[in-house]
Amino acid sequence: MATVQLVNVNKVYDGGVHAVHDFSIDIKDKEFIVFVGPSGCGKSTTLRMIAGLEEISYGELYIDGKLMNSAAPKDRDIAMVFQSYALYPQMTVYDNMAYALKLRKVPKQEIDSRVRAAAEILKLTPYLNRKPRALSGGQRQRVALGRAIVRRPKVFLMDEPLSNLDAKLRVAMRSEIVRIHKEVDATTVYVTHDQIEAMTMASRIVVMKGGFIQQIGEPNEVYRYPNNMFVAGFIGTPAMNFLHGRVERGCFYPDGSDDKIKLTDEQIKLLANYENKRVVYGIRPENLIYEKDERFAGLEDFSFSFDCNIVEKLGDIVNVHGTLGKDEVIVKMNSKYAVDGVTSVRVAIDTEYARFFNESTTNAITPERNAYEEAEVAVNPDEEKVVIVQPEKKGFFSTLIDSVKTKFKKK
């Protein structure tokens, strides 16, 4: 059993870099949490604060409900696996895995059973007597995992453990780690800059940018309902298309286009506060339907044309790149469509997968956010929107208010 809870955790490095801002999450027992985001967004710093390798500037960290802010790393019952797995070259695989337990004076028999059990899980049993130099990259990384597994920690922390492996091995190791996690059944926090690793491995993803959490959610949730334009652009390849434009009388008018894109009833309701205002229409490359596709029929009103300039052939699919006004557009389509040499492409939007964003805040427009914004305006009306209701008859209160007003004017 191990839960990990971070409550408004912050890191301010000496010199003033505020690397992590108010990081809060409740990690449940046996979850596989992936921190993902571009380089420098604070993923490793957060992981290192959980490990105790970096001090928490303020905020709280609990492991299994116990406050851990000032516990030494060795007292946190965690094991960390890094990108560079320094194995002892002169020791066998068996001894590499047994080493930490020997240091902890674990009885020999116990060490033996733990090492053999880990080797089984990691499919390393045939290699126990080999030295690291006689292993492949993937096998070495599994030994590094084995060293963590034999310690039976409450929590595994992994910092980009696959980034030194070649592309093919990374894919293989991704599913290996997922399988190992299932067998070991321990709470895991995994850091990566690779959104595909996050999507394929995580039970929940934490997307970070500039030290701030952008969204926490299951992979499909983050992919389907991104919280803002950053998440929408970061998760998924090729990235989501963003069409800038205006909402007017049930249609979206993309900048630099003669087309108007019809809005569905549901979308009209969602965008009720945006009439005659600018919004960003988000749609993923895989949710645009080429006009020669039979699914296009009946979707004419939801379609637009764009100038196409590059056709990227990937075997079964092609990515057609182009522009609409100043916006880039990418469409993922079946390679059976001959789009070579075509300069203008018409596509329809599969509206079920559309996501709208507020152009100035870049946040997704959702019914919840609309309700929140309306409530906020009601509580904090700005001056222009204040309606002063004049009382019909002058009663006690209005006379009082008038006299206060006159006093203020005099001052």
Contacts with ligand ADP by CB under 6 A lie at 13, 15, 17, 19, 37, 39-45
CB 59 within 8 A of CB 9: yes
Distance between CA atoms of 140 and 332, rounded to whole angstroms? 38
* Least distance in angstroms from the C-beta of 12 to ligand ADP: 9
Q: Which of 241, 222, 230 has the alpha carbon at shortest distance from 319?
A: 241
* Least distance in angstroms from the C-beta of 192 to ligand ADP: 10
* Least distance in angstroms from the C-beta of 39 to ligand ADP: 4
CB 224 within 8 A of CB 31: no
Locate tokens 């052939």: which residue? 313
- In the complex with ligand ADP, which residue's Cβ is closer, 33 or 365? 33
- In the complex with ligand ADP, which residue's Cβ is closer, 55 or 255? 55
The answer, yes or no, to whether the previous bond of 73 is cis (omega within 30 of 0) is no
Q: Which of 345, 339, 338 has the alpha carbon at shortest distance from 322?
A: 345
Locate tokens 């070579």: which residue? 340
Locate tokens 């993803």: which residue? 205
* Least distance in angstroms from the C-beta of 45 to ligand ADP: 3
* Least distance in angstroms from the C-beta of 43 to ligand ADP: 4
Locate tokens 């809870």: which residue? 5
- In the complex with ligand ADP, which residue's Cβ is closer, 40 or 233? 40
- In the complex with ligand ADP, which residue's Cβ is closer, 41 or 331? 41
- In the complex with ligand ADP, which residue's Cβ is closer, 96 or 188? 188
- In the complex with ligand ADP, which residue's Cβ is closer, 139 or 164? 164
- In the complex with ligand ADP, which residue's Cβ is closer, 55 or 218? 55
CB 46 within 8 A of CB 192: no
* Least distance in angstroms from the C-beta of 59 to ligand ADP: 15
* Least distance in angstroms from the C-beta of 37 to ligand ADP: 6
- In the complex with ligand ADP, which residue's Cβ is closer, 54 or 350? 54
* Least distance in angstroms from the C-beta of 19 to ligand ADP: 3
Distance between CA atoms of 196 and 198, rounded to whole angstroms? 5
Locate tokens 């469509």: which residue? 337
Distance between CA atoms of 316 and 313, rounded to whole angstroms? 8
* Least distance in angstroms from the C-beta of 397 to ligand ADP: 57
Locate tokens 């044309």: which residue? 305
Chain centre to alpha carbon of residue 245:
26
User: On the CB side of 28, how many CA atoms lie within 13 Å of its CA?
Assistant: 4
Distance between CA atoms of 115 and 108, rounded to whole angstroms? 11
**Geometric angle at alpha carbon 295, from 289 and 296, rounded to 5°:** 60
* Least distance in angstroms from the C-beta of 18 to ligand ADP: 9
CB 391 within 8 A of CB 398: yes
- In the complex with ligand ADP, which residue's Cβ is closer, 46 or 303? 46
Phi-psi region of 379 (alpha: psi -120 to 50; beta: other; left: phi over 0): alpha
CB 97 within 8 A of CB 145: no
Could you give phi then psi for residue 119, rounded to 5 degrees? -60, -35
Distance between CA atoms of 36 and 250, rounded to whole angstroms? 37
- In the complex with ligand ADP, which residue's Cβ is closer, 196 or 251? 196
